Amino acid sequence: MTHRNLAAANGNSPGDFDAELTDESLVLHLAGDWTIDHAGALDARLRGLSVPSAVRRVSLDLGEVEALDTAGAWLVHRTRRELEARGIEVELHGAAGAQRTLIEAVASLPSEGEPEPKRASPLIDLVARTGEATIDLARESVRLVGFFGMLAMKTARVLLQPRRLRLISLAYHIEATGVSAVPIVGLLSFLIGVVLAYQGADQLRQFGAEIFVVDLLGISVLRELGVLMTAIIVAGRSGSAFTAQIGTMKVNQEVDAMQTLGLDPVDVLVLPRAFALMITLPLLVFFADLVALFGGATMSNFVLDISYGQFMRQFQSAVDVGHFWVGMVKAPVFAFTIAMVGCYEGLKVGGSAESVGRLTTASVVRSIFLVIVLDAVFSVLFAVLGI
C-alpha cells in the first residue's frame, strides 16, 4: 500500500489516488482530474492495485476529484465491479451529484466485451411464460389443498365441539351473506326463468310442443341453473367480501395481533364465514328456484297462454322431487368452496393495499372456476349413478 501523496488541487492537476488500509477495510482517496487525458496512467495504476485478502470493505472517496468525464467514470465503475466480483463490499463517498449520476449511467451500459442480450423470440417467450404459469398453478393448487385439509379438520372439530363456534360472528355473517343477498338473487333468478322460458318456447313452438317448456324449465332450474347461478352470484358478492375483509385486517396487522393474543385466525375469521355460507347458500338456492320458476310461469302465461294452474299441473307430473334434491346437495359443497377460497386469498394478502385488490379479483375468478368444475363433476357422478 502507498502512503497518502495526492497532487495539489490547483488548476489542471492529473488524476491520482492513494490507499489507506485499516483492519478489514480499504479507503481509496481519488483526487485531481479523472478525465480521458489521464486515463492511461490511471488505468495502469488501478490494474496494479493489490488488495489484501483480509479486506472485506472498500470505500471509494471522490471528495477531491476536480473533474470527471466518461473515461474516468468508467475506470471508477470498473474498479467497483472487479472488487464486488471478489465478494468485497464497495461504497462511493464524496461524489457530487453530477459525478454520481455519470458513474451510474456508465454502469448501466453493457460491460466490456459483453454482448447485448438477445431478445427471445415470441414463441420462446410464450412457452416460457406458459411454463412459469403452469408451475405457479401447481404450487398454488398444492397450497390450496393443504388449506382445505386444515379447514376440514377444524370444521370436524367444531362439529364435535359446537361450543367452539362463535355464534355472534356466525349470526352476523348469516345476515351479511344471506338476507342481504336476497334482492339480487331474486331479481337475477326471475330474469333467468323469464329468458329460459322465452327461448324454450321459441324453439318448441316449431314442433307444437309448447307445453314441454314447463319440463325444460323445471328440470334445468332445479338441477343446474338455480344452484349454479346462485353460487356464482354469492362468489362474486360474498367470496370477494371475505377476501377484502380479511385482507384489510392483514394490512392493518389485526391478524398478527390476534396471533399475539393466542387466537387462531382460522377459528376466529374463517370458520364463522364458512358455516354461515353453508347455511345461507342452500336457502338462497331454494329461494332462487322458486323465483325462477315463477318467472318462467309468468313468461309462459304471456307467450304461450299457459295459465299458472296448467303450469303447476304439468310441473307436478313432469318434474320429480329428486331433481330438487340434486340441486340442493350441491349447495353446501359450493358454499364451502367459495368460503375456503375467499378466506384463503384474504390470508395471503401482504402489506399493501394493492395486494388486497389483486387477490380479491383472484378470489372471485378461482371461486367461480372451482364451482363450475365441481358442478361438472357432480353432473358426471349423477349420470354414472343414474340419478
Q: How confident is the model at residue 171 (pLDDT cuts 50, 70, 90)?
A: very high
Domain count of the fold of the chain: 2
Q: Does residue 348 lie in a domain region?
A: yes
Question: What pLDDT sits at residue 8?
Answer: 40
The pTM score is: 0.66
The dihedral built from the CA positions of residue 119, 121, 126 and 131, taken in this order, carries a sign that is negative
Q: Does residue 119 lie in a domain region?
A: no
In contact, 378 and 337? CB cutoff 8 Å: no
CA distance 24 to 31: 23
| pLDDT at 6 > cutoff 70 | no
Question: What pLDDT sits at residue 367?
Answer: 94
Comparing 126-140, 197-211, 245-259, the range with the smallest average pLDDT is: 197-211
Environment class of residue 10 by beta-carbon count within 10 Å: exposed (0-12), middle (13-18) or buried (19+)?
Answer: exposed
Residue with cell 492529473: 14
pLDDT > 90 fraction of the chain, expressed in percent and rounded: 31
Question: In this structure, are 247 and 363 located in the same domain?
Answer: yes
Residues 6+ apart with CB under 8 A from 216: 196, 200, 204
Question: What pLDDT sits at residue 3?
Answer: 40
73-119: pLDDT as tens digits: 888 888 888 888 877 888 887 777 787 888 888 777 765 555 555 56
| pLDDT at 33 > cutoff 70 | yes
CA distance 145 to 315: 41
Per DSSP (E only), the strands in the chain are 16-21, 25-34, 57-68, 89-93
| pLDDT at 127 > cutoff 90 | no
State the residue range of the domain holding 153: 138-385
Question: What pLDDT sits at residue 280?
Answer: 95
Question: In this structure, are 194 and 279 located in the same domain?
Answer: yes
Q: Report the CATH number at residue 46.
A: 3.30.750.24
Q: Does residue 267 lie in a domain region?
A: yes
Q: Does residue 115 lie in a domain region?
A: no
Question: In this structure, are 89 and 168 located in the same domain?
Answer: no
Q: Does residue 60 lie in a domain region?
A: yes
Helix, strand, or coil (residue 87) = coil
Question: In this structure, are 288 and 161 located in the same domain?
Answer: yes
Question: What pLDDT sits at residue 252?
Answer: 86
Domain boundary among 56, 91, 107: 107
What mean pLDDT value characterizes the chain? 85
| pLDDT at 11 > cutoff 60 | no
Question: In this structure, are 95 and 162 located in the same domain?
Answer: no
Among 225, 241, 223, smallest CA distance to 339 is for 241
CA distance 213 to 273: 38
Helix, strand, or coil (residue 95) = coil
Question: In this structure, are 156 and 68 located in the same domain?
Answer: no
CA distance 18 to 376: 76
| pLDDT at 234 > cutoff 90 | yes
CA distance 49 to 38: 17
Question: What pLDDT sits at residue 183?
Answer: 93
Comparing 113-122, 154-163, 335-344, the range with the smallest average pLDDT is: 113-122
271-321: pLDDT as tens digits: 999 999 999 999 999 999 999 999 999 998 888 888 888 889 888 888 888
Residue with cell 383472484: 362
Question: What pLDDT sits at residue 117?
Answer: 54
Question: What pLDDT sits at residue 211?
Answer: 83
Domain boundary among 65, 90, 107: 107
| pLDDT at 213 > cutoff 60 | yes
In contact, 56 and 29? CB cutoff 8 Å: no
Question: What pLDDT sits at residue 2?
Answer: 42
- What is the number of other CB atoms lying within 10 angstroms of the CB of residue 61? 18
- What is the number of other CB atoms lying within 10 angstroms of the CB of residue 117? 7
Q: Which three cell numbers stand for residue 361?
A: 379479483
Question: What pLDDT sits at residue 12?
Answer: 60
307-341: pLDDT as tens digits: 888 889 888 888 888 889 998 999 999 999 999 99
Query: Is the model more confident about 182 or about 88?
Result: 182
Task: Compute and round to an integer the Cα radius of gyration of the chain.
Answer: 36
